Chain A
Amino acid sequence: MFTSAGFAKTWQYIQLFKEGLICTLSLSALTVLFGFIFALILALMRMSKIKPLSWFATCYVELFRATPMLVQLFIVYYVVFAKASLPNFKLFGFIRFERFFPGVVALSMNSGAYLSEIIRAGIQSIDHGQTEASRSLGLSSRQTLFDIVLPQAIKNILPAIANEFVTIIKESSICYTIGVQEIMYAVASIKGATYRIAEPLLIATAVYFCLTFPTSKIIAYFERRMSRGFKR
Chain B
Amino acid sequence: MASNAELIKVTGLCKHFYNGELKALDGVDYSINKGDVVVVIGPSGSGKSTFLRCLNLLEVPTSGEVVFKGVDITKKYYTDKNGNKVRLNIDEHRRKMGMVFQHFNLFPHMTVLENMTLAPIKVKKMAKDEAEKKAKKLLKRVGLGDRADAYPIQLSGGQKQRVAIVRALMMEPEVMLFDEPTSALDPEMVGEVLEVIRELATTGMTMVIVTHEMGFAKEVGKKIVFMADGKIVETGSPEEIFDNPQSPRLQDFLKKVL
Interface residues of A (CB under 8 A from B): 127, 129-130, 132-140, 143, 147-148, 151-152, 155, 229-230, 232
Beta-carbon contact of B109 and A152 below 8 Å: yes
Q: Please measure, in the bound complex, the distance between the C-alpha atom of A133 and the C-alpha atom of B123, giving whole angstroms.
A: 14
Contact indicator A129/B103 (Cβ below 8 Å): yes
What is the interface of chain A mostly: helix, strand, loop, or mixed? helix
Determine if A136 and B98 form an interchain contact, defined as CB atoms under 8 angstroms apart. Answer: yes
**Would A130 and B107 be within 8 Å (CB), given that A138-B94, A140-B91, A147-B118 are in contact?**
yes
Q: Tell me, in angstroms, the Cα distance from A181 to B69 when the chains sit together.
A: 68
Point out the residue from A130, A138, A230 that lies within 8 Å of B119, measured CB to CB.
A138
* A contact residues around B94 at 8 Å (CB): 135-138
Complex Cα spacing A110 to B132, Å:
45
Residue B167 lies at the interface, judged by CB distance under 8 Å to chain A: yes
Which chain B residues (99-121) contact chain A, with CB distance < 8 Å? 99, 101, 103, 105-109, 118-119
Q: B105–A138 contact, CB under 8 A? A: no
A230 surroundings in chain B (CB, below 8 A): 108-109, 153
- A66, B255: Cα distance in complex, Å: 62
User: Contacts of A152 on B, CB cut-off 8 Å?
Assistant: 107-109
Number of interface residues of B (CB under 8 A): 26
Question: Which are the 5 A-B pairs with shortest beta-carbon distances?
Answer: A138-B95, A133-B105, A137-B119, A136-B99, A129-B105
B193, chain A: closest CB distance, angstroms:
16
Is residue B122 within 8 Å, beta carbon to beta carbon, of the partner chain?
yes
Known A137-B167, A230-B153; judge A155-B109 contact (CB<8 A): yes
Most A CB contacts (10 A, CB to CB) among B95, B108, B167 go to B108
- 10 pairs from A and B in contact (CB 8 Å cutoff): A130-B105, A132-B58, A133-B101, A133-B105, A133-B106, A136-B58, A137-B168, A155-B109, A232-B108, A232-B152
B188 at the binding interface (Cβ < 8 Å)? no
Contact present for B123 and A137 (CB under 8 Å): yes
Check A138–B92 contact: CB distance below 8 A.
yes
A129 surroundings in chain B (CB, below 8 A) = 101, 103, 105
Q: Within residues 62 to 114 of chain B, which ones have a CB less than 8 A from any CB in chain A? A: 91-92, 94-95, 97-99, 101, 103, 105-109
Contact residue among A132, A147, A151 (Cβ-Cβ distance under 8 Å from B101): A132
Does B171 reach chain A (CB closer than 8 Å)? yes
CB < 8 Å neighbour of A139 from B98, B103, B123:
B123
Residue B56 is within 8 A (CB to CB) of chain A in the complex: yes
Q: How far is the CB of B209 from chain A (nearest CB, A)?
A: 15
